Structure 1
Amino acid sequence: MQSSIEHQKLRGANRLQSVDDWGIGGTTNHRRRVAYYEPNDEILTNRDSWTGKFDFLLSLIGYSVGLGNVWRFPYLCYNNGGGAFLIPFTVMLVIAGLPLMFMELSLAQYAGLGPAVLFGRFSPLLQGLGLGMVLIAGIVMLYYNVILAWTLLYMLTSFEEPLPWKGCHHAWTTKFCYSYEEENICLSDNGTYYLRECYANSSMISNFTKVAKRPPAEEFFKNYILQLSSGIEHTGQINITLALSLLAAWLIVFLCLCRGVKSSGKVVYFTALFPYVVLVMLFIRGITLPGAHTGIKYYLEPDWEKLKSAQIWGDAAVQIFFALSPAWGGLLTLASYNKFTNNCYRDAIIVATTNILTSFFAGFVIFSILGFLAHELDTEVGSVIDQGAGLAFVVFPEMVTKLQMPMFWSVLFFFMLLTLGLDSQFALMETVVTGILDTFPKWRRWKTRVVFGVATVGYVGGLVFVTNSGMYWFQLVDKYAANWSVLLIATIECILIAWIYGSKRFISNIEEMIGPRSNAFILFWTVIWKFVTPVALLFILCFNWIQYKPVSYGKYAYPDWADIVGWAIGLLPMVAVVLTSVYKILSDSSGQSIAEKVVNLLKPTDEWKAARGHQFQYDDHGIEI
């Protein structure tokens, strides 16, 4: 045994922190001293940490609970057996989403490092995993902020009265624009309405020409907001209005992140909680509307037969995987600023539970509104339902024109979308910034400049999405950027930690942070991480491959070269993983065989250690326990 003084000498200039507490050894109570040695590590020196008790938890909730909970989950639930969809969704949460989230939170909290540097110490051969995650976050960051630009523009135009997308009498409408409200006026007043002729004293309507109906809100989105061209090959010009909105979106993100997690950690107290206030208000308003009951019935009515199909399980797995966003780098980045003893296990369970409950509740809100819209249009709920941008920027704007105080509800809804999107954008950008500052720790003195530089590059890179062909590029990057590489990286990460590093060793690291765990805990997570989660990830990969279709936007089919560009963007992070591994092997001059180099490079380096150093326990005589 060595005394505490001897341990201190071994660590040179490392700083000693000691805490007195009471422990039990055998059957005799004795006083012990727990000493923590903080490593003399340039990267960890002066690194930020969360300043508030709930900063991390709210940031994590804001990152995980995003636009997909509102504009994708309800549609999937409706399309996959209604209430029956909750069963596979919960199962996939337990076997895929939660395990990966808990794994990443624990790993980053233990090391106190972001993904760019963490994997270089954890497994040098696979340092590219961290670089790949930063690349994914950077690519997604470019187009994700465009959604915020659309939202800002809609929120500003919502202050006009009447709402600018009401009716078909605007300059941006085409002959296909069809307003049911104006149709009713036409039928009551007699006369000609678009390509229909109304006859006096007759309920019969003669269709001279059949045309595709487009609601005014759809034409407003495509022709006014997007100024959409006929295809991705027709770039056209930059939409100045959208470019200014994108600039405003990046300015908001920069101001919220200019001081890192110290500033963003305070902003999330509003951005993470405000959407729930709006959802409750929309729910109360929605269930009081005529037709709301029908919409909720469509949403919840279970079809148990759907549970027998692979489609429902695949959709549930994909949704929960991308809802919690493992392998994007965001979870690792946020957790790397935690205190060493933070209970990351509790946080993972809280966030995963919050995610599924928010998704479920958002379904009530959306389908009560869709039921009302179907009632107003005298049609089926299935004919008005949409997902993604179609729900947010076409269906909902069309619906609010039929409400009392449409301006109020429109502003409220788009402000909610803005706050939902901001939290996710914070984590994406913070991943990129943390990757830069961890790689070049001396740049921390110029943190604000680094954040400004990343925001500037993000704005310039996002300009392609505000051209006349911007929506086509948006759909292309959205389909490929966070798909194949994310799934492959998550699978490799899981195997690396559970099998190569060892689940037993990893759980031991977790116990250093949050205290001893029961045998049942150890057994459960060992089985989950080593067997269940990798199988679930392979299932998601296979499902995505079987269901793969070339990207399209409505009836527009992309040219072949666009799909090639999409695949190149999507596989770029995996290329970084492979090239980094090859470089590590070739640069190893140990003289060993390739197989021996691979085995050694998969092991952690000497720099891999707990963020606050190793823990030693001593009795009153300075003897290590």
Structure 2
Amino acid sequence: MMEILEAKETSTVEKQDARYERPEWGNKTEYILTMVGYVVGIGNIWRFPYLCQTYGGGAFLIPYFIALFVEGFPVFFLELAIAQKLRKGSIGVWSSIHPYLTGIGYSSLVLSFFLCLYFSVIITWITWYLLHSFEYPMPWGFCPLNENDTEYLAECRLSSPVNYFWYRKTLDISTNINEGGTVKWWLLICHIFVWSVIYCCTIRGIESTGKVVYITTPIPYIILFCFLVQGLTLEGSTDGLRYLFTPDMTQLQNPKVWMDAATQIFFSVGLGFGAVVAFSSYNNIHNNCEGDALFLSLVNSLTSVFIAIPVFSVLGFMATITFNECLDRNVQALMNEFDVTEGIITRDNYEDQLNFYNASFPKRILDLKLATCDLSELLNTAVSGTGLIFIVFTEAINNMPVPQLWSILFFVMLFSVGLSSMFGNLEGVLTPLTDLGVFPKSMSKEMVQGMVCLLFMLISMIFITAPGNYWLTIFNDYVCSVPLLFTCFLEIISVMYIYGYKRFREDLEFMLKRKPNPVWIVMWGFISPAVICIILVAYIIVESQNTLEYEAWDPSNPEFPDKLMLEYPTWVVAILSLLSALPCACVPGIAIYKWITSRYQKDKNEVQDIVIGDISVVYNPNNDNDATADNDRMGFPQHPILFQNITYKPGANEF
């Protein structure tokens, strides 16, 4: 079993041995900007506003911020601290605590691998829309004509221009997940471009990423402020903001509100994926990780609230447009039916006029089949994910002045946010693989980065086929949810009850140069793992009661443009289950493998490898004079307990 050194002793050895070459951040600003870019992702834009809209506006903020203090702060601080102390990636950290815990690191690695695959495709779609934002008129602002130029295409006419551009011109989507399809060449070009940009930005690891974030992290905030100013000037924006900040307290009685608030914290901050561990492992041993955890968690959550303001302004704007169009159709129908002069019936007096005619001619009014125009109902219609970004927002931009400008700004913002998040996702894969020594030392960073990016690009091409959007939905909704909660739960248990809370507290005192607040120990030891366990069990129970269905876009559907609700085929459910179970299976699987291999090792008296930082040394219980001589030669202090019977082993690896 591997021996872990105390924090002070690790620091001493690292300074005395010139072979220790763990990369470090150029400065604290690079680290903070990189972390902000990672924790503030596309989910803050398309997921948080949806949850607020679904669960009573401001009422959702109550369980959200409670979950932040109970889960977000503690788990984030724990990941930052343990990585900063052990200075390793996700696999190295947990294997250092105990070899049987190595599977936790592999679980994070698999989760980051899955996330990199489908997240890059979202950036591909964003790139496609960004390119078309320079066109006049906007391509999602009108319906194309048929081959004979006699009428608009039926699929577009029956749905809308924004729906047609998204589902047909962008995705060219199949009618169900069973249908095959080739890779869409226009998306492939954008996909290659996206991965080329990612490669160039991460070519030297944190050395290059730390410079790029000076651009990619501030840009979204600047553009968001522009959208905030523009959104507040739109008609109906006040209705959207009133809906956001008027809490429906009855929603707090719904258990699902609390469950969704808790899971949103994990996905939003990016816990359990290994990226936080990877980035923190490059910090100085005395970095104030406690302050970083509090600051970054608050930045993430406050950014979500800040983003919700322009989003709800736009939603109020779109609801008002739809409401007015509904009123206009009804007004026109009344005027035609009763041969009323133009201007007699208006939006303002529509309700009074309707009541008057309904009292006098109820049958004629009934035969008109007037639509019910309800602004509150329109505001209640929640939209999330790609529907919010590529349909609702693009339609709103069509109705703004100078739509090309706002479209360019919007998709540049999304591209920057997505790119910054990808830096963390990719680091969650590369750092543990590098620590494991998977890549030969003779291979340059540029070559390693290129091989990994190429592999991701090739595999993720499955998402740019005709049924690709259906598969991306599976990865986004199901594959990472349960494994992520499971991984975070094991992380806390491993640190507090295997590594030891006393030892961890001493490490924190050494790193922070002061005693940590006792509240953290209480949260890590009892409250946070209990809450995560309850959420995990509740999530599994709720999801097991739901039928696994997906929305299919089928123009031949009699109720088109309404989407068909189809059940996933058995073979898809099998793949879904396998992918969800794979990260979780890493934990017991690796533990069993470690146990089996340990049974075949030699006696305890044989020479053992001990890892000190990135240095490997050999432990020999049968001490001789040569060991002391080697220690002197390598500059190891003659520690009465730690360095007794230890000699340097050049080129040794941890595994």
- Do these two structures clear the TM 0.5 threshold for a shared fold by scoring above it? yes
Alignment of 1:177-188 (within 5 A): 177-178=156-157
Match 1:60 to one of 35, 43, 50: 35
Structure 1 residue aligned with 2:542: 547
Matched, 1:528 2:523: yes
**How many residue pairs were aligned?**
538
Where does structure 1 lack aligned partners over 5 or more consecutive residues? Answer: 1-13, 19-33, 179-212, 598-604, 617-625
Q: CA deviation at 1:532?
A: 0.6
Distance in 1 (alpha carbons) for counterparts of 2:30 and 2:581:
34
Matched, 1:435 2:403: no
- What is the one-letter code of the residue matched to 2:65? T
Cα separation, partners in 2 of 1:35 and 1:75, compared to 1, 3 Å: closer
Q: Which has the larger radius of gyration?
A: 2
Q: CA deviation at 1:418?
A: 0.7
Distance in 2 (alpha carbons) for counterparts of 1:385 and 1:291:
17
- What is the one-letter code of the residue matched to 1:435? P
Matched, 1:564 2:543: no
TM-score computed with the length of structure 1 as normaliser: 0.81
Match 1:175 to one of 134, 154, 158: 154
Where does structure 2 lack aligned partners over 5 or more consecutive residues? Answer: 324-373, 552-562, 618-635, 638-655
Q: CA deviation at 1:128?
A: 1.0
Matched, 1:480 2:475: no
Distance in 1 (alpha carbons) for counterparts of 2:524 and 2:159:
49
* Residues 20 and 614 in structure 2, CA contact (< 8 A), matched pair in contact too: no
* Residues 14 and 20 in structure 2, CA contact (< 8 A), matched pair in contact too: no
Q: Deviations over 1:134-158 (max 9, x none)?
A: 1110111011000000000100001
Structure 1 residue aligned with 2:366: none
Structure 2 residue aligned with 1:503: 501
Distance in 2 (alpha carbons) for counterparts of 1:260 and 1:313:
38
Q: CA deviation at 1:35?
A: 8.1
Match 1:135 to one of 86, 104, 110: 110
Structure 1 residue aligned with 2:585: 575
Match 1:36 to one of 2, 9, 12: 12
Structure 2 residue aligned with 1:607: 611
Structure 1 residue aligned with 2:177: 232
| Aligned-residue identity in percent | 32
Distance in 1 (alpha carbons) for counterparts of 2:169 and 2:146:
9
- Secondary structure in structure 1 of the residue aligned to 2:12: strand
* Residues 67 and 420 in structure 1, CA contact (< 8 A), matched pair in contact too: yes
Structure 2 residue aligned with 1:284: 229
* Residues 33 and 213 in structure 2, CA contact (< 8 A), matched pair in contact too: yes
Distance in 1 (alpha carbons) for counterparts of 2:119 and 2:462:
13
Match 1:257 to one of 202, 211, 221: 202
* Residues 71 and 387 in structure 1, CA contact (< 8 A), matched pair in contact too: yes
Distance in 1 (alpha carbons) for counterparts of 2:53 and 2:106:
38
Deviates more, 1:529-538 or 1:581-590: 581-590
Distance in 2 (alpha carbons) for counterparts of 1:609 and 1:446:
22
Match 1:454 to one of 452, 455, 475: 452
Cα separation, partners in 2 of 1:507 and 1:551, compared to 1, 3 Å: farther
Q: CA deviation at 1:116?
A: 2.1
Cα separation, partners in 2 of 1:147 and 1:309, compared to 1, 3 Å: same
TM-score computed with the length of structure 2 as normaliser: 0.78
Alignment of 1:56-455 (within 5 A): 56-170=31-145, 174-178=153-157, 214-378=159-323, 380=375, 381-382=378-379, 385-440=382-437, 442-443=440-441, 445-455=443-453
Q: CA deviation at 1:266?
A: 1.1
- What is the one-letter code of the residue matched to 1:51? G
Q: CA deviation at 1:45?
A: 3.3
Cα separation, partners in 2 of 1:487 and 1:170, compared to 1, 3 Å: farther
Distance in 2 (alpha carbons) for counterparts of 1:244 and 1:41:
48
Distance in 2 (alpha carbons) for counterparts of 1:41 and 1:216:
65
Cα separation, partners in 2 of 1:537 and 1:168, compared to 1, 3 Å: same
* Residues 489 and 574 in structure 1, CA contact (< 8 A), matched pair in contact too: yes
Cα separation, partners in 2 of 1:514 and 1:420, compared to 1, 3 Å: same
- What is the one-letter code of the residue matched to 1:221? W
Distance in 2 (alpha carbons) for counterparts of 1:225 and 1:270:
28
- Secondary structure in structure 2 of the residue aligned to 1:556: strand
- Secondary structure in structure 1 of the residue aligned to 2:441: helix
Cα separation, partners in 2 of 1:384 and 1:312, compared to 1, 3 Å: closer
Distance in 2 (alpha carbons) for counterparts of 1:457 and 1:35:
37
Distance in 1 (alpha carbons) for counterparts of 2:427 and 2:534:
31
Distance in 2 (alpha carbons) for counterparts of 1:170 and 1:134:
48
Distance in 2 (alpha carbons) for counterparts of 1:525 and 1:541:
22
Q: Name the Cα RMSD after superposition.
A: 2.8
Cα separation, partners in 2 of 1:566 and 1:364, compared to 1, 3 Å: same
Structure 2 residue aligned with 1:492: 490
* Residues 144 and 153 in structure 2, CA contact (< 8 A), matched pair in contact too: no
- Secondary structure in structure 1 of the residue aligned to 2:154: coil
Distance in 2 (alpha carbons) for counterparts of 1:236 and 1:426:
30
Structure 2 residue aligned with 1:191: none
Cα separation, partners in 2 of 1:465 and 1:171, compared to 1, 3 Å: farther
